[in-house]
Amino acid sequence: MTPTLTGFANSPDRGRGRGRDMRVRWALEEVGQPYDVRLLTFAEMKEPPHLALHPFGQIPTYEEPGLQLFESGAIILHIAETHKGLFPAEPGARMRAINWMFAALNTVEPPILERETAMLLERDESWTVKRQPGLDARICKRLDALVAYLGDREWLEGMFTAGDLMMASVLFRLGSSSLLQRYPSLSAYVARAEARPAYRRAFAAQLAVFEAGNRA
Ligand code: GTB
């Protein structure tokens, strides 16, 4: 049966694919699983029907018969475990892919998120300009290490895995900043991820939601 995701009815990123529903759409496209999307306003996200699915009143959520999930990491882990295409067959390699999913979410994403929050929500605070170099340095520390590991590999563990999907999704968040441009091999890694047909289908689908909302 077709699973259902939730996403923003009015994405604040204007269709740039920065919401965490995008990575779930991408995972489903990678494994060829059709899906439905239920769009929610910010108000609906905080109302009881959605809070029953997501205790923190956020997107994305995932529903299939007998299972309801929130947290993009858990959702993608489930998709990768129940379909072919996002995990290697060999148990050690599969575990290393999971290792990279956690590294993306727990080690690389936090400093990126901190910088994004400062730019979006604390832009006018007196300390923001002073804080910026420190925020950038914390991100670069992670990117330096990632570049060193990646070397001339195409993907983190031989084939493209859910670990790459998550790492690239996290790096996309650097978007317009110049930080990623300092790292040619990481920029190329991100470009390879963005060029995947499944990514492009997922991106087009979320952009269509924004465009439809704008026409209405
Ligand atoms: N850890 C959770 C996961 O990985 O699923 C985090 C989920 C999350 O942060 N969801 C955000 C949300 O629902 C949307 S993606 N926020 C609403 C709320 O908390 O009330 C984060 C996001 C938000 C906004 C933009 N933007 O403006 O561009 C981009 C991404």
- The protein residue whose alpha carbon is closest to atom 16 in ligand 1 is 58
- The protein residue whose alpha carbon is closest to atom 23 in ligand 1 is 19
- The protein residue whose alpha carbon is closest to atom 17 in ligand 1 is 58
Q: What is the pLDDT of residue 1?
A: 86
**Which of 172, 179, 176, 99 is CA-nearest to residue 139?**
179
**Which of 89, 112, 103 is CA-nearest to residue 159?**
89
Secondary structure of residue 208 in the 3-state scheme? helix
Please name each of the domains of the chain with its CATH number.
4-85+198-215 (3.40.30.10), 91-196 (1.20.1050.10)
For 73, the token pair is 């990491």
d(CA 58, CA 46): 8
Q: What is the pLDDT of residue 166?
A: 98
Q: What is the pLDDT of residue 215?
A: 74
Q: What is the pLDDT of residue 123?
A: 86
Pocket lining: 18 vs ligand 1, CB cutoff 6 Å:
yes
H or E element: which one contains 186?
Answer: helix 184-194
d(CA 95, CA 100): 9
Q: Which segments in the chain show pLDDT lower than 50? A: none
Q: What is the pLDDT of residue 176?
A: 66
